[in-house]
């Protein structure tokens, strides 16, 4: 059985947003994203994979398609396959997200 303690995995970098693998398989990935104020994941798309962002702490702006929203702790959003999506920390506090994508892109 694989058990991970998220508090022990989370780290921040002043250079860029961090993607920290929690679980990884040929079928999906399950990551922590850590963002300091001003950091972002550029808007992009995955043609054959859905992605879910769940905010564990802090606040982020999320874009899915042409829509944008502010998410706070406990809120989640799904970016369906083929839709543009991205996330950025427009607040003045660090943010931590749980991110799942399936199927895992090649």
- The pLDDT assigned to 20 comes to 97
Is residue 105 over pLDDT 90? no
Residue 101: phi and psi, rounded to 5, are -140, 135
| Domain boundaries along the sequence of the chain | 42-106
Q: How far is the C-alpha of 104 from the C-alpha of 24, rounded, in Å?
A: 9
Q: How far is the C-alpha of 64 from the C-alpha of 78, rounded, in Å?
A: 8
Q: In this structure, are residues 67 and 102 in contact, taking their beta carbons and an 8 Å threshold? A: no
Say which CATH topology domain 42-106 has.
Jelly Rolls (2.60.120)
pLDDT digits over 3-61, tens only?
999 999 999 999 999 999 999 999 999 999 999 999 999 999 999 999 999 999 999 99
pLDDT digits over 59-87, tens only?
999 999 999 999 999 999 999 999 999 99
- The pLDDT assigned to 17 comes to 98
DSSP notation for 48-70: T-EEEEEEEESEEEEEETTEEEE
Question: Among 81, 74, 80, 68, which Cα is nearest to 96's?
Answer: 74
The torsion defined by the Cα of 64, 58, 4 and 12, in degrees rounded to 10, comes to 100
pTM for this structure? 0.94
- Within 13 Å and on the Cβ side, how many CA atoms surround 70? 6
């Amino acid at each position: 059985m694989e058990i991970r303690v998220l508090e022990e995995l989370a780290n921040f970098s002043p250079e860029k947003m961090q993607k920290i693998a929690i679980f990884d398989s040929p079928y999906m990935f399950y990551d922590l994203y850590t963002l300091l104020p001003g950091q972002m994941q550029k808007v992009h798309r995955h043609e054959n994979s859905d992605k879910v962002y769940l905010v564990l702490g802090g606040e982020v702006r999320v874009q899915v398609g042409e829509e944008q929203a502010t998410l706070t702790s406990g809120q989640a959003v799904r970016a369906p396959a083929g839709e543009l999506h991205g996330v950025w920390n427009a607040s003045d506090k660090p943010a931590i997200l749980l991110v799942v994508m399936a199927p895992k892109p090649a």
